[in-house]
Amino acid sequence: MENQPKLLASNEKIDTLVAKIKFTASQRHALDRLPDEGEYCPIDAGSYDDAFEDGAQVGEIDFARELCELLGVNYDRPED
């Protein structure tokens, strides 16, 4: 017996998912610093709790960028 994968989503759902990933990948995060901004410091966020939020956002955006690269999807990278 051959194991055949089932179609999990319609093309429309996949296109919507890819569009959301591209949008997230295109966002600027705390580590996308301009040259005149210097290196990121946690206190730049205002408090260490806010720095945690910055880190969570960096992770989400970097993961979306990695997915785009794996899928061969172009996205608008924020200006460095």
**pLDDT in the model for residue 2:** 63
- Supply the pTM of this predicted model: 0.75
**pLDDT in the model for residue 72:** 95
Judge contact between 29 and 65, C-beta under 8 A: no
pLDDT along the chain (80 residues), means of 10: 64 90 93 81 77 90 96 85
DSSP secondary structure, 28-74, as one string: --TTS--GGG-S--GGGGSSHHHHHHHHHHHHHHHHHHHHHHHHT--
